[in-house]
């Protein structure tokens, strides 16, 4: 087998990276005051397999409730997505509006509303402007097309505070077949995953049955979207879908493992784009924790470091104030071994087995400032358990942006 993926830094999407069997549209419906695109639609030419993973927040948006009840499925036909309004904390009216969005799509596609999914993203606690949403959905249906341009339009219309469009893709050859995976995501704030974070749709033409699709997506989420943090705030709307238009026998065994590897890779690159575009982000923290009692413990320690405002601010300023990192590990919860705790920042060993080492603070500060991704390697013992995590730093721009959002 071979697996090819695009570099994370490029997003030059071409028609031939997209799996067959999908059509896309993104339109302006006037939901956003800015007048930017705000309704996306993705439909499949035939019934397809779809799986989803969703926010673990107990306060869930109406679209999440609906999608949870409709996935996994092997009769998927479409998903409609609006940005500019999250349809969260909107009571019974919100539930009715989410259902109506899927009904409108179903009426045009000629399928059951149950075969259509829905996502919303934006401000919480406002009722959807349903006339605009409905008109936008109909408009999007009329503009459905295959190809990169339409895919990009759909990826653009799901953005909210995102500074750039987030798409990734890859392909995997199994036997004589080459399968494609393409994915889009949005998200720049309220990002601290638990299951999935933000909105993301991954499409493929690899054949997957319902259970396999669900399993593969959960695996990929745990390695990617569940390992990034912007602000430690788990959203009410997080939804990640995997849609397969593939026909024939479902992948399994080694073939599935090969597919999984590429799926994980696409999702990891997409998740890292979320962090890089974290509100106000100037540096990505790449946190690698080793030596914990288990991988789960290592993940929790890495997540705690990722969430510390003091650590984030130190990275913002290129400040090798490493005590903040070590002390965050100490309050994370899992048992650590302080006398076997060691730390490297940008490859420089500065704390070894509980004792500080002399280092050139000025040189390290310059290295940190110059790195768009600051590598933090923390050992908290001598075991083989480890975890990776990615986070954004904390800047004035984050504060300014989030101090003036709804008003």
Alpha-carbon span 202 to 49, nearest angstrom: 12
- Looking at 21-72, which runs of residues are DSSP E strands? 22-27, 39-54
Per-residue interface string for the shown chain with a second copy, residues 171-210, x marking contact by CB under 8 A: ------------------xx-x-x----------------
Among candidate residues 79, 156, 154, 94, the one with its CA nearest the CA of residue 124: 94
Per CB under 8 A, 331 contacts a second copy? yes
Least CB distance from residue 156 to a second copy, whole Å?
A: 24
Contact 184, 169 (CB under 8 A): no
When binding is defined by CB under 8 A, the residue of 11, 310, 340, 344 that contacts a second copy is: 310
Q: Which is nearer to a second copy, 88 or 98 (CB)?
A: 88
Contact 200, 273 (CB under 8 A): no
Does the annotation list 362 as a binding residue?
Answer: no
197 as an active site residue: the answer is: yes
Contact 136, 62 (CB under 8 A): no
Residue with tokens 């069997």: 21
Q: Which stretch binds a second copy (CB under 8 A): 3-11, 111-119, 134-142, 320-328?
A: 320-328
Per CB under 8 A, 395 contacts a second copy? yes
Alpha-carbon span 110 to 246, nearest angstrom: 21
Among candidate residues 190, 194, 257, the one with its CA nearest the CA of residue 225: 194
When binding is defined by CB under 8 A, the residue of 162, 223, 231, 377 that contacts a second copy is: 231
Given the residues 197, 239, 299, 304, select the one marked as catalytic: 197
Q: Which is nearer to a second copy, 8 or 354 (CB)?
A: 354
Per CB under 8 A, 86 contacts a second copy? yes
Residue with tokens 């895919």: 151
Least CB distance from residue 59 to a second copy, whole Å?
A: 3
Per CB under 8 A, 400 contacts a second copy? yes
Strands across the sheet containing 284-292: 228-229, 385-392, 284-292, 373-379, 342-345, 348-352, 355-356
**Binding residues for a second copy restricted to 124-143, rule: CB under 8 A:** 124-127
- Give me the active site residues, please: 197
Q: Binding site for substrate: residue ranges?
A: 160, 186, 197, 279, 402, 407
């Amino acid at each position: 087998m071979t697996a090819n993926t695009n570099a994370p830094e490029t997003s030059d999407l071409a028609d031939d990276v997209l799996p067959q069997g999908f059509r896309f549209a993104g339109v302006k419906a006037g939901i956003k005051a800015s007048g930017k695109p705000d309704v996306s639609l993705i439909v499949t030419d035939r019934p397809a397999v779809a799986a989803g993973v969703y926010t673990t927040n107990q306060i869930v948006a109406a679209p999440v409730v609906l999608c949870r009840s409709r996935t996994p499925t092997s009769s998927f036909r479409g998903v409609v997505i609006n940005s500019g309004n999250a349809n969260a904390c909107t009571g019974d009216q919100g539930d009715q509006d989410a259902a109506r969005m899927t009904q409108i799509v179903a009426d045009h596609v000629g399928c059951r509303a149950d075969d259509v999914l829905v996502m919303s993203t934006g401000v919480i606690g406002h009722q959807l402007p349903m006339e605009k949403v409905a008109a936008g959905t109909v408009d999007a249906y009329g503009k459905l097309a295959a190809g990169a341009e339409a895919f990009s339009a759909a990826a653009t219309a799901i953005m909210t505070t995102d500074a750039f469009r987030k798409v990734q893709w890859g392909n995997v050859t199994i036997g004589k077949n080459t399968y494609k995976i393409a994915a889009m995501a949005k998200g720049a704030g309220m990002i601290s995953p638990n299951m999935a974070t933000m909105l993301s749709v991954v499409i493929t033409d690899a054949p997957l049955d319902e259970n396999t699709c669900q399993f593969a997506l959960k695996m990929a989420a745990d390695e990617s979207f569940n390992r990034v943090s912007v602000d430690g705030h788990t959203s009410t709307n997080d939804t990640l879908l995997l849609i397969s238009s593939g026909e024939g026998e479902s992948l399994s065994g080694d073939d599935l493992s090969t597919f999984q590897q590429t799926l994980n890779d696409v999702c990891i690159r997409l998740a890292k784009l979320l962090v890089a575009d974290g509100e106000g982000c100037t540096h990505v923290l790449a946190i690698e924790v080793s030596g914990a009692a288990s991988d789960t413990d290592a993940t929790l320690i890495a997540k705690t470091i990722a969430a510390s405002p003091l650590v984030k601010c130190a990275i913002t300023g290129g400040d090798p104030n490493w005590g903040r990192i070590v002390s965050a590990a100490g309050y994370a919860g899992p048992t650590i071994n302080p006398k076997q705790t060691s730390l490297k920042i940008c490859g420089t060993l500065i704390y070894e087995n509980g004792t500080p080492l002399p280092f050139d603070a000025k040189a390290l500060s310059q290295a940190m400032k110059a790195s768009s991704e600051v590598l933090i390697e923390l050992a908290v013992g001598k075991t083989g358990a480890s975890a990776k995590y990615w986070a954004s730093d904390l800047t004035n721009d984050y504060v300014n942006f989030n101090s003036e959002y709804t008003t």
